[in-house]
Structure 1
């Protein structure tokens, strides 16, 4: 299933169009974006559950979201 701008906004809320485009271009599914968002916001709890660190497309999404958060913090 191809992710749409609406899918991205439904998970992340209002975000920059460039980020939306990069997320859609990743080829990720909405569920992968939701999981990446969970990692960004609560990685200690997920590791505590015994989940493996993100890899592949999920790791790429985490990197995109982390970079966006870093840019907003500046």
Structure 2
């Protein structure tokens, strides 16, 4: 498996674990600090996955969305 695919798989796995920790903290099973840490890690993983997708897709290929205001 190429390095990029491994990183992407690791980011997805970490995202799932972080969201699970956040959910367990919200349910009261884990302390609040664990939920906050899970939320920060989940946000970082989601950002990395979205930015990686944008880089792979290429900025010039991205559709331009215009507001209908």
TM-score (norm 1): 0.33
Structure whose CA Rg is larger: 2
Larger RCO, structures 1/2 (Cα 8 Å, 6+ apart)? 1
TM-score (norm 2): 0.35
